[in-house]
C-alpha cells in the first residue's frame, strides 16, 4: 500500500512537466509485414505531440527510422548488396531516408498547424564545448518560436547510432542538453521486467524505479524482440542512467498504442517510471566520451 502511494506521488508529478522529449524507435514506425511506414501511427504520434504543444509544453521528438525508410526507397534487400549491409550502405540509406522521413513529418505537423524543425546530431555536438553551446541555443530559440525540434543522429557522417543503439541514448543526451524534465521512450516493450518476459513467464513487471542500482543495470541484456531497431533493454537502461542522473524522470512505455503519451502525462500508471535524482553530479560530455570509448 505504501509503495502504491509512493508510485502515485511520482506519477502525479508527471502532470506538471513542462519540457518533454519523446523518443520513438524504428520498429514502432513500421508495418512488420512489409517494413513500410505506418502512417496511422505517425499521424497519432504527431497529433499527441501537437496536443502537448497546445497545452503550452515544449516538446522534442527523437525519431529513428531514417535508415529503414531509405532502404525501402532504394529497394535494398535486408542483407545489403553483399550479404551483410555495410556501414557505407547504411549511411547511404540514411541520406535518402532522413530527407524522406522529415518531409513526411513536416507534412503531418503542418496539418495540425504546427511547425517542425530538423536537428541532426553527432558525438561532437556534445563533446565540443562550442558545438554544445550552439546546439543548446538553437533548441532554446526553437522553443521560443513554438517549433517542435525533430532529432536524429546524423547517420550519413556518424556511425554511433548504427553501432550503439536505437537512439535511446541520444534521446537522453538531448533531454539533458535542453534541460527537459521528462523523457518518454516509446518502444516495443511494456517497460522493465525482472527477467525477459518473452522467455520467463514468471518475470515481474517493475512499475517504479527510484534508485537505478548496479544490480538493475546488470539486468539490461543486449537483445531485442525486433530485427528493425538496434536497441535492447541495455540501451534503455543507459538512457535511464543519463536521464535520472540529470534529474530527469523517464518512462519506458509500449508504442502499440501511441495514445499512451497523454495518459502518461495525466499521471496514469503506464510503463516503467525511472525517477530523476537531483543529488548526483553528472558530466554529460564525459559520459558521452566514455560511452563511445
- SS3 label, residue 209: strand
| Domains in the chain: ranges and CATH | 2-291 (3.40.1160.10)
Higher-scoring residue by pLDDT: 126, 159: 126
Q: How far is C-alpha 83 from the geometric centre of its chain's CA atoms?
A: 30
What pLDDT is attached to residue 182? 98
- Spell out a b/e string for 44-55, using b for 16 or more CB atoms within 10 Å of the CB, else e: bbbbbbbbbbee
What pLDDT is attached to residue 211? 87
- What grid cell was written down for 4? 502504491
For residues 283-293, give the mean pLDDT: 73
Nearest to 11 by CA among 240, 271, 209, 267: 267
Name 117's Cβ contacts closer than 8 Å, sequence gap at least 6: 142, 147, 148, 149, 150
Residue-wise pLDDT for 134-151, tens only, equals: 999 999 999 999 999 999
Report how far apart, in Å, the C-alpha atoms of 75 and of each of 50, 63, 72, 79 are.
33, 22, 5, 12
Residue-wise pLDDT for 156-215, tens only, equals: 666 555 444 558 888 999 999 999 999 999 988 889 888 777 788 888 899 999 988 887
For residues 91-98, give the mean pLDDT: 90
- Spell out a b/e string for 106-123, using b for 16 or more CB atoms within 10 Å of the CB, else e: eebbeeeebebbbbbbbb
Higher-scoring residue by pLDDT: 152, 14: 14
What pLDDT is attached to residue 225? 47
For residues 52-60, give the mean pLDDT: 97
Residues 189 and 186: their CA atoms lie apart, in Å, by 8
Q: What is the pTM of this model?
A: 0.89
Amino acid at each position: 500500500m505504501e509503495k502504491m502511494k509512493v508510485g502515485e506521488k511520482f506519477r502525479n508529478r508527471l502532470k506538471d512537466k513542462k519540457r518533454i522529449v519523446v523518443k520513438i524507435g524504428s520498429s514502432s514506425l513500421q508495418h512488420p509485414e512489409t517494413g513500410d511506414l505506418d502512417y496511422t501511427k505517425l499521424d497519432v504520434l504527431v497529433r499527441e505531440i501537437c496536443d502537448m504543444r497546445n497545452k503550452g509544453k515544449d516538446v522534442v521528438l527523437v525519431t529513428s527510422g531514417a535508415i529503414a525508410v531509405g532502404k525501402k526507397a532504394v529497394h535494398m534487400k535486408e542483407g545489403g548488396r553483399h550479404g551483410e549491409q555495410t556501414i557505407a550502405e547504411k549511411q547511404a540509406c540514411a541520406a535518402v531516408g532522413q530527407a524522406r522521413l522529415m518531409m513526411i513529418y513536416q507534412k503531418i505537423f503542418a496539418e495540425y498547424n504546427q511547425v517542425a524543425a530538423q536537428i541532426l546530431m553527432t558525438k561532437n555536438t556534445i563533446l565540443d564545448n562550442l558545438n554544445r553551446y550552439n546546439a543548446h541555443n538553437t533548441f532554446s530559440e526553437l522553443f521560443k518560436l513554438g517549433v517542435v525540434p525533430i532529432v536524429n543522429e546524423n547517420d550519413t557522417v556518424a556511425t554511433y547510432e548504427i553501432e550503439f543503439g536505437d537512439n535511446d541514448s541520444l534521446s537522453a543526451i538531448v533531454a539533458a542538453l535542453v534541460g527537459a524534465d521528462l523523457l518518454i521512450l516509446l518502444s516495443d516493450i511494456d517497460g522493465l521486467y525482472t527477467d525477459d518476459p518473452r522467455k520467463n513467464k514468471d518475470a515481474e513487471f517493475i512499475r517504479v524505479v527510484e534508485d537505478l542500482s548496479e544490480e538493475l543495470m546488470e539486468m539490461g541484456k543486449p537483445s531485442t524482440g525486433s530485427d528493425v531497431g538496434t536497441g535492447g533493454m541495455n540501451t534503455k537502461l543507459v538512457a535511464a542512467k543519463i536521464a535520472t542522473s540529470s534529474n530527469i524522470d523517464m518512462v519506458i512505455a509500449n508504442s502499440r498504442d501511441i495514445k499512451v503519451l497523454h495518459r502518461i502525462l495525466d499521471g496514469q500508471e503506464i510503463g516503467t517510471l525511472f525517477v530523476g535524482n537531483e543529488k548526483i553530479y553528472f558530466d554529460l560530455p564525459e559520459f558521452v566520451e566514455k560511452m563511445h570509448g
